[in-house]
Amino acid sequence: MSKTWLITGASSGLGRLMTERLLARGDRVVATLRRQGVLDELQQIHGERLTLLTLDLTDVSRIREATREAFTRMGRVDVVVSNAGYGLFGAAEELSDEQIDHQIATNLTGSIQLIRAALPHLRAQGGGRIVQVSSEGGQKAYPNFSLYHATKWGIEGFIESTAQEVAPFGIDFILVEPGPTATDFATGLVRGESMEAYDATPAGDVRRAVADGSFEIKGDAARTVDAMIAAADEPAPPLRLALGSSAYEGIKQALEARLQALETQRDVAYSADVD
């Protein structure tokens, strides 16, 4: 049976690939993008099965309008894919206030408001699924990505709580956590003003690795999208879905290190209880 999807950030990267895959198999897609015209050729091919809406996630009122329009025009949306976002690159001290505000408004606040806008419609139709594109960077961290990580760790906490609130309504979530993947993510990085003080630090090491191409990227975009769609088709998918060997190994190591550190603090933790 065909499904109807709402996908943000569909003009490029994983969002575009997912839109193409879903249309090719006969599903209906409402695709949002910031610039008109990017997917016109795709719409000519697939006609009414592709609906295009303009949306900038920093515009909260437009998020609500576009979400309402998607559900109204389609009658039902089975899967909402919160995919739009970008990376802010630089040591925390190197970033401007404006860059920080925009990163949070897009990746975190925008994703939160999209989910909040979709929930009443999903409740009214008796359930549905929300797929949030997070990152391995929602559970581990690299130098030079502090604000990007802040948004990904933040959206994971928001969803882990919200998922418990709306489960009785038949609404569930998938947090997709890809590792570094061959998309245009790196070219879309917004960069802070590099400071010489950080040249000989881990932040400088990462900066050079990204610049010279030695920052390892193992993930395949097409396979990542296929795995996302397969998970969204499952009757009972996992809350978190790590994709790529880098994501699996990186998240595993981060969780093991945190658990090991926690276990050393058991006595101190228990000592803070009321007698």
The pLDDT, as a whole number, for residue 184 is: 63
What gap in Å lies between CA 157 and CA 231, rounded to an integer? 21
| 44-49: long-range contacts, CB 8 A cutoff, minimum separation 24 | 49/23
- Per-residue confidence (pLDDT) for residue 61, from 0 to 100: 97
Q: How confident is the model at residue 219 (pLDDT cuts 50, 70, 90)?
A: confident
Cα separation values, 114 from 15, 57, 81, 234, 251, Å? 16, 8, 10, 23, 26
Please write the tens of the pLDDT for every residue from 65-117: 999 999 999 999 999 999 999 999 999 999 999 999 999 999 999 999 999 99
| pLDDT at res. 218 | 77
Supply the residues annotated as catalytic: 134, 148, 152
192-216 pLDDT tens trace: 999 999 999 999 988 888 888 777 7
**pLDDT at res. 180:** 74
pLDDT above 70 (res 186): no
Domains, the chain, with CATH or none: 4-271 (3.40.50.720)
Note whether 149 and 137 are within 8 A (CB).
Answer: yes
**pLDDT tens digits, one per residue of 9-57:** 999 899 999 999 999 999 999 999 988 888 989 999 999 999 999 999 9
Task: Work out the mean pLDDT of the chain and round it to a whole number.
Answer: 93
Query: Residues 119-136: what's their mean pLDDT?
Result: 97
Give residue 182's pLDDT: 66
Query: In sequence order, which residues have a C-beta less than 8 Å from that of residue 240 and are 6 or more positions away?
Result: 156, 174, 175, 177
**Assigned token pair, 102:** 């925009």
Long-range pairs of 139-143 with CB within 8 A, sequence gap ≥ 24: 139/177, 139/251, 139/254, 139/255, 140/250, 140/251, 140/253, 140/254, 142/206, 143/91, 143/201, 143/202, 143/203, 143/205, 143/206
Q: Provide the pLDDT for residue 201.
A: 95
